[in-house]
Amino acid sequence: MITNRIIQFLNIVGVNIFSFKVHMEAFRQKLTYSILFVSAAFGLAACNNKEAEKPASQIAAKVNSGEISVHQVNYILSRTGAGANKPEMAPKIRREILDRLVDQELAVEQAIEKKLDRSPDVLMSIENARREILARAYVEQIAAGMDKPTVDDAKKYYAEHPQLFAERRIYNIQEIVLPAISGIADELRELLNGGKSMEDIANWLKGKGIKFVGGSATRPAEQIPLELLPKIHPLKVGQGLLMEGPQSITVMRLAASQSVPISEDVALPRIQQFLGNQRTTEAAKQELKALKAKAKITYMGEFSGGDSATSQAATAPPAAPAAGAAISKSAADIAVEKGVAGLK
């Protein structure tokens, strides 16, 4: 199964993996109808064209003029990993998969009858799904050729990152975010170091007519970016820090924390998975970089300045927070993809 890191990488290089990811997530949530829709254009259509060639033992169900094969059921079961840890549940899960495939087949037959398979939007969706599947298969092939992280690799990582494991904590962080204003950071730092509460700081900003947004959030260590965690971990309750960005300033204060360590035995399998994902992502990036260097790529029309436009978009600083807007992502969420999302 494609890992979260591989999906993130595909998104970075411009492959929209969202629709395929939705299928996988939806199946884990009671096997909803949406997981099965895209595969109809491929698996079921092909099966219908070869129904005369299938032995009866390979047919799981007949639906009007169409058929559903045992291979289709097994494929979905293997791709989702449903019931992998509970073999006794496999028969029930296989029947649930088949029931959903029957529903899908009925919908596919109606779609074909209404000639929806000739719709430009549907044809484009099918082509997009084909490209996503091929790109995913390529990255999975790269992953298969990578050396797997050893237990010693995982133990080393465990020892080097006590904040994530042996000294892991869950943090409740309060924050105030405001636009970057010349000279204001030093004054805010004095207020913060002087023990002023977040309410006092908010009132001080209001008195100066400075617009800001505030909020609080509770996050475990693994949801905090690695570059930020060493700054938050030493804080005691009531202490805070100030972070300056190109267009915003964030004042943070630790409101509460709870020690919730993770033992080495529990952490090692997760660390191995994380390190594997990390290696695969880096290897895939390097492979595509090499392919891109050899390829002849010409940007056309409005994209003719592709490289420079992409570079500018990538380096453009984030917009300052709008006055009165709710915080949708706190400072602790900044660059969270660089953290240890793979350890969840």
pLDDT of residue 258: 96
pLDDT of residue 195: 87
Give the DSSP H/E element, type plus range, for residue 12. Answer: helix 4-12
Q: In terms of pTM, does the model score above 0.95?
A: no
pLDDT of residue 226: 87
Tell me, what DSSP letter sits at residue 319? Answer: P
pLDDT of residue 21: 40
pLDDT of residue 273: 92
The DSSP code sequence of 57-87 is GGEEEEETTEEEEHHHHHHHHHHH-TTTT-G
Could you give the CA distance from residue 201 to residue 171 in angstroms, rounded to a whole number?
A: 21
Q: Which domains does the chain have, with CATH numbers?
A: 4-141 (no CATH), 162-261+322-343 (3.10.50)
pLDDT of residue 145: 86
CA dihedral of residues 145, 276, 283, 130 (deg, nearest 10)? 70
Q: What is the pLDDT along the chain (344 residues), one digit of tens a residue?
A: 444 444 443 343 344 433 434 343 443 443 333 434 344 434 444 444 444 455 557 999 999 989 999 999 999 988 877 666 677 888 889 899 999 999 999 999 999 999 999 999 999 999 999 999 999 999 889 888 888 999 999 999 999 999 999 999 999 999 999 999 988 999 999 999 888 999 999 999 999 999 999 999 999 999 998 889 999 999 999 999 999 989 999 999 999 999 999 999 999 999 999 999 999 999 999 999 999 999 999 999 988 875 544 444 444 433 333 323 333 333 333 333 333 333 33
Could you give the CA distance from residue 23 to residue 79 in angstroms, rounded to a whole number?
A: 11
